[in-house]
Amino acid sequence: MDRRARASQKRQRLTAAAARVLHEQGIERTTLADIAREADVPVGNVYYYFKTKDELVQAALAEHRAHLDELTRALDRLPDPRDRLKGLIEAWVAQRETAARHGCPTGTLAVELDKRADGTLDAEAGAVIRRLLDWTAAQFRELGRPAPEDLALTLVSAYQGMSLLTNALRDPDIMNREGTRLLRWLDSLEPGGG
Amino acid sequence: MDRRARASQKRQRLTAAAARVLHEQGIERTTLADIAREADVPVGNVYYYFKTKDELVQAALAEHRAHLDELTRALDRLPDPRDRLKGLIEAWVAQRETAARHGCPTGTLAVELDKRADGTLDAEAGAVIRRLLDWTAAQFRELGRPAPEDLALTLVSAYQGMSLLTNALRDPDIMNREGTRLLRWLDSLEPGGG
Amino acid sequence: MDRRARASQKRQRLTAAAARVLHEQGIERTTLADIAREADVPVGNVYYYFKTKDELVQAALAEHRAHLDELTRALDRLPDPRDRLKGLIEAWVAQRETAARHGCPTGTLAVELDKRADGTLDAEAGAVIRRLLDWTAAQFRELGRPAPEDLALTLVSAYQGMSLLTNALRDPDIMNREGTRLLRWLDSLEPGGG
Amino acid sequence: MDRRARASQKRQRLTAAAARVLHEQGIERTTLADIAREADVPVGNVYYYFKTKDELVQAALAEHRAHLDELTRALDRLPDPRDRLKGLIEAWVAQRETAARHGCPTGTLAVELDKRADGTLDAEAGAVIRRLLDWTAAQFRELGRPAPEDLALTLVSAYQGMSLLTNALRDPDIMNREGTRLLRWLDSLEPGGG
DNA sequence: AATGAATGAGGATTCATTCAT
DNA sequence: GATGAATGAATCCTCATTCAT
């Protein structure tokens, strides 16, 4: 492995560490030293890859978006859009233990970023959520449902809401119950129906 | 007004300032000086009323719970539980501009508090949310619906979810759309029906 | 009890509390609030009796000096100066548990006061110790020993030393052992001997 | 000199400064800024070497222990244990001016540390004193004296006592007088005698 | 590129002392 | 005289960021 590869690997390690630690501890509670330690990179060296802490937050957001893309790409292989949406919900429920401990990564980052005066990163968190909304709307559209954007809003809202409650009440079972309801709801939708 | 009254008023002013500023800027981004300035109280004096920053956070949470109690007490005057729930939703939607800028006070505090190692305050945020869940479930129960706790979960989840999305996307209209849907959903429920 | 008496009783309560708490926690670690609480006097009221914290320290020193005077006055009733000195040592050893926990009141106050730039109170602590030295020297003189001041120095030094070691090592038995030795030493001294 | 060497030198400078200033001003009266200034190190940088003020106190204690070890190692080169003990006393007396101004470094630190609720550092101060006791007892044992631990206790007690009196009365001559007595006492001891 | 070390601007908290009634 | 409340200076500690090698 040459210099170039080693460097980019270090960058990747930092990004992954940032995504993980920022999700667990939040932005304000996480120090650069925390991330550096987790990535096994000397503190001073972090600045070679990321000029500011904000850039690391940005990288973490990008990482979460990449995870989302990975998931939707996999679901896209399913022929039936309804199955894709059900797969999405099942993926959410599968993460219930993590959600109980730390909430939805993107959702909680968005909440924290919103509290800042500077709204640069704020928008980026919104963009990840919008991406999820768009993909979801596309599935409803393909299903022939009217107002697919509204349906997407309802589904993603439900996800963020149940993640927050699961987290706040430290009760992963909330995601089981709400997940089950959402799956039944999807099943009840008739293609193109009202 | 004597010393005693003026002092307790100061405490109240600090509590109100804390509730407001912590909602707007988040816990970590808010300094004691911020709250002191907002309440027009010298920093050193804050400690006469609250021994730590955490106690101010606690007071802010109590303030939000009090607001919630006030609202539900008012709604309790309505004879029909369905109307009470619709009133709750309308109150939420009426706050959409604030939600777009800062999210749900309790919800965002809960998210931040969860990121802490020490879980004391964390639990208190959860308690406020649970209070809302309980009141909501009571209405569904009075309506004669089966599984009122699950319905409450669905409604409160929807609220937290739409608040978060509205905030993350800075789009208050989201609360109009989801609010409308929730109202229609309530109307569609037949008393005691499945 | 009239105003005058009640007030002086309050002053006495504060003095006693100061003597106790300053011995236990040291000057720097003790707040005025600590002393006020211990004396069951409102903080604001302390300043009516003592204009500064230093005045309270001074009062505590005076209290310790009074205790010493009380003890020597009682010992002065014994006809034999050697018995008086032995009584002194026995009184010290009887305090060994307190010494193990907090050291000699006057000695530890003197150590703390010495660390100050301002030497006013410093001198007062020294004066209490000097008073003990003088009384002790008087006994040796009455015994007809040569260089009674040196003997007093040796005895008081031994007391301060064993108090410090007992305290630092948290071992009250040290005072038993050294006390026994000092008693034997006194017995071995022949009146007027070399 | 490279970074590494300069850094470790800085640590040493901080330790030496801490030992000195803490001895002179006491723990509570010394600010981190005092120590930083004395060591010519920016305040913020102190925390790179010592995570808390307590760690600096600990380092100062270790420094004093090192000084003690140095002294006893030098004395160990003398063939006669009695000469070693006399050398120890002479070293004490040689420090009389410092003792008059600030007392025994370890003794006064021990007194201050005892006043704390947290007893961690307290024990460390005790350990330094115990080390001195042990070395002293070893000399008496080698001299063939019975109860060497008691003799050590007497000698070290006398040292702490005369240091405290010298300091409290600001009279270095006290150490001359007590030192002379202790030297004579050592001379009077017959090997193995009672 | 890599890295240990340096820097300084905050931020929470404490507390002696003063004030207003 | 009595008292709750007010004040502000001081202190410890954190951490993003920069620097020198």
pLDDT at A173: 98
Residue D155: band (very low, low, confident or very high) from pLDDT cuts 50, 70, 90: very high
What single DSSP character describes residue B189? P
Residue D45: band (very low, low, confident or very high) from pLDDT cuts 50, 70, 90: very high
Q: How many CB atoms lie within 10 A of CB B4?
A: 8
- Of B25, B26, B178, Cβ closest to residue A157: B178
In tens, the pLDDT along C34-45 reads: 999 999 999 999
Q: Over 70: is that where the pLDDT of C124 sits? A: yes
Q: Which of A109, A106, A99, A108 is nearest to A133 (CA)?
A: A106
Cα dist. B119→A170, B25, B113, B125 in Å? 11, 21, 8, 10
**Going from the N-terminus, what domains does chain C have, and what CATH number goes with each?**
57-188 (1.10.357.10)
D165 with C153: Cβ contact below 8 A: yes
Mean pLDDT over D102-120 rounds to: 94
Asked whether residue B184's C-beta has any atom of DNA/RNA strand F within 7 A, the reply is: no
Contact status of A153 with chain B (Cβ, < 8 Å) = yes
pLDDT at D124: 94
Return d(Cα C106, Cα C122) in angstroms, integer. Answer: 11
Contact status of D161 with chain C (Cβ, < 8 Å) = yes
Return d(Cα D82, Cα C191) in angstroms, integer. Answer: 30
pLDDT at A5: 75
A114 with B108: Cβ contact below 8 A: yes
D25 with C115: Cβ contact below 8 A: yes
B167 with A29: Cβ contact below 8 A: no
Q: How far is the CA of B45 from the C1' of E17 (A)?
A: 14
Q: Which one of C114, C130, C136 makes the best mutation probe of the D interface by having the most chain D beta carbons within 10 Å?
A: C114
Q: How far is the CA of C124 from the C1' of E12 (A)?
A: 37
Cα dist. C38→C21, C22, C23, C43, C46 in Å? 8, 11, 13, 11, 12
User: Which bases on strand E have an atom closer than 7 Å to a protein beta carbon?
Assistant: 1-21
Asked whether residue C33's C-beta has any atom of DNA/RNA strand E within 7 A, the reply is: yes
In tens, the pLDDT along A80-100 reads: 999 999 999 999 999 999 999
Q: What is the pLDDT along chain B (194 residues), one digit of tens a residue?
A: 677 777 789 999 999 999 999 999 999 999 999 999 999 999 999 999 999 999 999 999 999 999 999 999 999 999 999 999 999 999 999 999 999 999 999 999 999 999 998 888 999 999 999 999 999 999 999 999 999 999 999 999 999 999 999 999 999 999 999 999 999 999 999 776 65
Query: For residue A127, what are its two tokens?
Result: 């963009």
Nucleic strand F contacts from chain D, 44-73, CB < 7 Å: 44, 47, 51-54
State which residue of chain B sits closest to A147, comparing Cα positions.
B177
Q: Is the distance from CB of C110 to CB of D164 less than 8 angstroms? A: yes
Within chain D, residue ranges assigned H as helices are 3-25, 32-39, 43-49, 53-75, 81-94, 96-102, 105-114, 120-142, 148-168, 173-188
**First-to-final CA distance of chain C:** 58
Q: B35: burial class by Cβ within 10 Å (0-12, 13-18, 19+)?
A: buried
- Of C24, C116, C153, Cβ closest to residue D178: C153
Return d(Cα D43, Cα D62) in angstroms, integer. Answer: 22
What single DSSP character describes residue C78? S
Cα dist. B126→A98, A113, B69, B185, C181 in Å? 17, 21, 15, 26, 67
Asked whether residue B48's C-beta has any atom of DNA/RNA strand F within 7 A, the reply is: yes
In tens, the pLDDT along D52-80 reads: 999 999 999 999 999 999 999 999 999 99
Nearest-nucleotide field for A50 (CA, C1'): F17
Q: Over 70: is that where the pLDDT of A192 sits? A: no
pLDDT at C15: 97
Return d(Cα D84, Cα D86) in angstroms, integer. Answer: 5
Chain B 62-121, CB below 8 Å of chain A: which residues? Answer: 102-103, 107-108, 110-112, 114-116
pLDDT at D119: 81
Nearest-nucleotide field for D6 (CA, C1'): E5
Residue nearest to nucleotide F8 (CA to C1'): B44
CA angle C97, C99, C102 (to 5 degrees): 110
pLDDT at A3: 67
pLDDT at B89: 98
Mean pLDDT check: name the lowest of A4-18, A165-179, C99-113: A4-18
Residue D190: band (very low, low, confident or very high) from pLDDT cuts 50, 70, 90: confident
Nearest-nucleotide field for B41 (CA, C1'): F6
- Of A103, A154, A177, Cβ closest to residue B114: A103
**First-to-final CA distance of chain D:** 58
State which residue of chain C sits closest to D125, comparing Cα positions.
C168
Q: Which of C159, C160, C22 is nearest to D168 (CA)?
A: C160
Q: Which of D146, D167, D144, D143 is nearest to D78 (CA)?
A: D143
